[in-house]
Structure formats: structure tokens, C-alpha cells
Amino acid sequence: MITIKQYANGRYYDTDNKKYVKKEDLAKLLAKKSKIKIIDSKTEKDITRKTISQLPEPRKTAKKAASQKTVAVKKWVDDNKKWISKNLDTRINKILSAMNLPTKDQIIKLTSSMDALNHKVAELEKRQAQKIKEMGQKHSRQIKEMEKNQEQQVQQIRKDPETANEELSVSEQALES
């Protein structure tokens, strides 16, 4: 057990280590779970409880100091992150421009242009498919009409083969000339 004497002027003396100590030192001793006894130098009365109750709690002081240090460290880290990010972006852009590579903004612009072109191509393909469909339908109608005409001609030939032969010979003569 460490014996501490308190003098009338308010100073504390560690009789074991033969040196004066401050209130903060007493608080540190208590924080280390050291057993101490504080006595009044005149009356030799034990005033440990009274003195300890007047000491600042070391845990709160330590927490406050640690908290302040933590805040300072966090601010320092954040400031450095911002500085590094700013300078890194600038230097990367300089390097990319020296290498003649596209920047992030240029890539974004190119990507949006490609998206717009892809959209236009899709629209054109859709229109082309519609036109092909319409042309197919038109050709189907024309083929049906031609088949119908051929069928009518075949029926007419069956009814009157002589007239059909005359028409064929006239057609052949027209082709030859």
C-alpha cells in the first residue's frame, strides 16, 4: 500500500517513493488499481475517501482525451483522403492524356452515343422488318391473282381449245418478232 501525506498547502507527498505527486498522479495510481492511503500530515487522520472523491475520474479524462485524439485522427484521415483523391485524379488524367487514352468523361460520352446509335439501329430494323412483311403480303396477293388468272385461262382453254390455240400462235408470233 502506498502512503500519501497531504500538507496544509494542498500538496501531496508519496512517502514510499519520497517525492511530491499531483492530483493527476493520484488519479493514475487509482486507475492502475494501486492501493493507496492518504493521511493528513498534521492530524494523521485517514482522508483517503474525502480526497478520492475530489479527484477527477481518470476514465472520463482518458476517454475525453482519447475522443479528442480520435476526432483529430479522423479529421486528418479525411483531409488526406480528399487531398489524395483530388491529386490522384488530376495525375491520372495527365497520364491518360499523355498516353492518348480516353478519359472517364469521354468513355461515358462514347457509351451514351453508342446507346443512341443502338436505339436508332433497332428502330431501323423494326421499320425494315415491317416493310419486308408488307412486301411479302403484296407479293402473296399478286401470286394469288396470277394463279387465279392462270386457272381462268386453263378453264377457258378446256372450254374452247381452238380459240386458245389461235391465241397461243399469236402470242408466239409476237415473241418471235
Residue pair 41/7 in contact by the 8 Å Cβ criterion: yes
Asked if 172 and 148 sit in the same domain, the reply is: yes
Count how many residues are written for the chain: 177
- Angle of helix 58-99 relative to helix 23-31, nearest 10 degrees, comes to 80
Burial class (CB in 10 A: 0-12, 13-18, 19+), 38: buried
Asked if 113 and 164 sit in the same domain, the reply is: yes
Asked if 141 and 81 sit in the same domain, the reply is: no
What local confidence, expressed as pLDDT, does residue 156 receive? 82
Name the residue range of residue 27's domain.
Answer: 2-56
What local confidence, expressed as pLDDT, does residue 118 receive? 97
What local confidence, expressed as pLDDT, does residue 172 receive? 66
Domain count, the chain: 3
Q: pTM, whole model, 2 decimals? A: 0.34
Asked if 109 and 146 sit in the same domain, the reply is: yes
pLDDT tens digits for the chain (177 residues)? 889 999 989 899 999 989 999 988 888 888 888 889 999 999 999 998 988 888 866 555 556 666 788 888 999 999 999 999 889 888 888 887 788 877 889 999 999 999 999 999 999 999 999 999 999 999 999 999 999 999 988 888 888 777 666 666 666 666 666
Residue pair 23/12 in contact by the 8 Å Cβ criterion: yes
14: helix, strand or coil = strand
DSSP E strand boundaries for the chain: 2-6, 12-14, 19-21, 36-40
Asked if 124 and 66 sit in the same domain, the reply is: no
What local confidence, expressed as pLDDT, does residue 53 receive? 85
Asked if 95 and 156 sit in the same domain, the reply is: no
